[in-house]
Amino acid sequence: MIEVKQVRYGVRKREILRSVDFHVEKGEFVGLIGPNGSGKSTFLKNLYKVLRPQEGTLSLMGEDLLTMSNREMAQRLAVMVQEQEAAFDFTVEEVVMMGRQARKGLLEADSREDRAWIRQILERTQLSSLAEQGFFTLSGGEKQRVLIARALAQQTPILVLDEPTNHLDIKYQLQLMELVRNTDCTVIAAIHDLNLAAAYCDRLYAMKDGIMVGEGTPEELLTSEFLLRVYEVEAEVLKGEDGTLRIFFPAPGKKRTSRKRAVKVAPEEDG
Ligand code: ADP
Ligand code: MG
- Could you identify the atom of ligand 1 that is nearest to the CA of residue 163? 2
**Contact predicate 208/230, CB 8 Å:** yes
What is the pLDDT of the chain when averaged over all its residues? 89
- What is the C-alpha R_g of the chain? 20
Closest to 205 measured CA to CA, from 195, 192, 218: 218
Q: How far apart are CA 78 and CA 159, in angstroms?
A: 5
Q: How far apart are CA 265 and CA 177, in angstroms?
A: 31
Bridge partners, residue 78, by sequence: 159
**Mutational pocket test of ligand 1: of 40, 42, 161, 162, the residue with most ligand atoms within 8 Å of the beta carbon:** 42
**Contact predicate 241/256, CB 8 Å:** no
**Mutational pocket test of ligand 1: of 16, 52, 192, the residue with most ligand atoms within 8 Å of the beta carbon:** 16
141-159 residue pLDDT tens: 888 899 999 999 999 999 9
Q: How far apart are CA 59 and CA 77, in angstroms?
A: 12
Measuring from each residue's beta carbon to the nearest atom of ligand 1, which residues come in under 6 Å? 11, 14, 16, 34, 36-42
- Ion ligand 2: residues, CB within 5 A, are 40-41
Q: How far apart are CA 245 and CA 204, in angstroms?
A: 13
40-85 residue pLDDT tens: 999 999 999 999 999 999 999 999 999 999 999 999 999 998 766 5
Amino acid identity of 174? L
> Among all ligands shown, which has an atom nearest to the Cα of 18?
1
- Measured in Å, residue 29 CA sits from the centre of ligand 2 at 18
